[in-house]
Amino acid sequence: MNSENTTQLGLEEAARRSRRIVGIVLAAVLIAAGLALPFVVRDPYFMSVVILCLMMGYLSATWGIISQTGQLSFGHSAFVGLGGYTSTILYTQLNVTPWLGILAGGAVAVLFGVIIGLPTLRLRGVYFALATLAFASILQIVALTTLRIGPIVIGASPGIQINLVNSGDAPQVFQFQGKMGYYYVIFGMLCLVLLLSFILNRIRIGYYWRAIRNDEDAAESLGINVARYRILGFLLSCFLTGAGGVFYAQYLLAVDPRRILGLGFSTEIALMGIVGGWQSVFGPVIGSAVLVPISEFLRARLSAIPQMTTVIYGLILVVFMVFLPQGINGLIVKAVKELSTQASRRRRHRVEKTDA
């Protein structure tokens, strides 16, 4: 290997090391800022919007795990609803704390994930997306029209309300006085799911997911069990989404099937992932940080015609899927790589001048 190639490899390694250090520092700064935010900002409305951003970022990040295998789900609200209904029924009818309901809600979401995933994850193209959409629609119809299933009260159209304990200050049953408790719970959940997704992308299963996403036939010809690794990704996504549904129910103190199982909610979850970057770890969080404030603004301005928010979301979805499939994260990564390449070239130029 000649000296020019050695120099080039050294510069590329230095650029990678530099990007890694910048990423670690940026993550540390964001975590520190997130931990300090409730002590700096006390406005309840602003905190509500921030909590909503974190919650939607979490749900979109869990949705993004299955999208990393190359499949799109447009019915992920079903698993949010299953988690929310499970924990709420256990709490209101059996007095089981919602902290345990997180595990139960995730488990029920996994159970239904197996039922829908095994026959549909072998489908290609839009068929899996349509199957998940149909599943969410069926589940919503059942929740809207069923008052009880045996001894279990479903509540039919109004859903189930969660009563406050001690004026809302009861951490043992996932209720907090004010916004701070809810903020730290969802902030921790979001950090954990991002860390998990980041780790998975850097071990064998993540490499398999990328191979399946890029070329399913080629991956299968190399001995990768496509069906197995897709179902693993889907079930993990279902469990984490069901856990997110528990937070959703406890934060709003209700499960309303018209919202939690609605097509609009599924569209929001998918849209934030697609706008942010649906095949990346941090893209869904970027999408939620951009779209949640826009959504709140639209709801305030278009309160008389709430359906318009879904229409506008649908238009944004189409535009990004057609013209910017890598999302905002793709643009950021491209810009960072370009800056890194330019810095590497400048360093190489300085080295060459020094050698001369």
Rounded to the nearest 10 degrees, how much is the dihedral formed by the CA atoms of 245, 266, 130, 240? -30
Q: Which of 203, 232, 261 is the last residue of a domain?
A: 261
Kindly tell me the burial class for residue 356, based on how many C-beta atoms sit within 10 Å of its own C-beta (0-12, 13-18, 19 or more).
exposed
Name the band, by pLDDT with cuts 50, 70 and 90, for residue 344.
Answer: low
- Asked whether residue 255 falls in the same domain as residue 113, the answer is yes
One-letter amino acid for residue 230 of the chain: R
Residues 124 and 251 in one domain: yes
Domain of 321 in residue numbering reads as 264-356
Is 45 contained in some domain?
Answer: no
Is 42 within the bounds of a domain?
A: no
Same-domain check for residues 131 and 231? yes
Q: How far apart are CA 132 and CA 143, in angstroms?
A: 17
At residue 201, what are phi and psi to the nearest 5 degrees? -70, -15
* Contact (CB, 8 A) for 198 and 281: yes
* Residue 19 located in a structural domain: no
CA 309 to chain centre: 20
Q: Kind and range of the H or E element at 163?
A: none
pTM: 0.89
Do 83 and 182 belong to one domain?
A: yes
Please answer whether residues 107 and 121 qualify as being in contact, where contact means their C-beta atoms are separated by less than 8 angstroms: no
Same domain (yes/no): 140, 274: no
* Contact by Cβ (8 Å): 112, 131: no
What lies within 8 Å, CB to CB, of 235 at 6+ separation is 110, 113, 114, 117
Structural domain includes residue 316: yes
Can you tell me the mean pLDDT for 323-349?
Answer: 72
Name the β-bridge partners of 152.
Answer: 149
Which has the higher per-residue pLDDT, 65 or 1? 65
**159 and 85 belong to one structural domain:** yes
Same domain, 347 and 245: no
> What does the mean pLDDT of the chain come to?
86
Residues 288, 229 share a domain: no
Say how far apart CA 158 and CA 132 lie, in whole Å. Answer: 24
pLDDT (0 to 100) of residue 15:
60
Backbone torsions φ then ψ of 162, nearest 5 degrees: -110, 120
Identify which of 67, 299, 350 has the alpha carbon closest to the alpha carbon of residue 200. 67
> How many domains are contained in the chain?
2
In the predicted model, is pLDDT for residue 275 greater than 90?
no
**E strand or H helix that includes residue 43:** none
Whether 8 is covered by a domain: the verdict is: no
Angle made by CA atoms 12, 15, 20, in degrees to the nearest 5: 130
Percent of the chain scoring above 70 in pLDDT: 87
Task: Specify whether 334 is located in the same domain as 346.
Answer: yes
**Tens of pLDDT along 171-202?**
999 999 889 999 999 999 999 999 999 999 88
Q: What is the pLDDT of residue 144?
A: 94
| pLDDT of 278 over the 80 cut | no
Is residue 21 in a domain?
no
CA–CA separation, 13 and 85 (whole Å): 50
pLDDT of residue 2: 53
Cα 272 from Cα 290, distance rounded (Å): 8
Q: Are 94 and 228 in contact (CB under 8 A)?
A: no
Examine residue 29 and state whether it is found in any structural domain, yes or no: no
Shared domain check, 142 and 224: yes
Q: Taking each helix axis as running N to C, give the angle between helix 77-94 and helix 127-145, from 0 to 180 degrees, rounded to the nearest 10.
A: 30
DSSP class per residue in 197-238: HHHHTTSHHHHHHHHHHH-HHHHHHTT--HHHHHHHHHHHHH
Residue 178, in any domain of the structure: yes
Verify that 218 and 289 share a domain, yes or no. Answer: no
268 and 256, same structural domain?
A: no
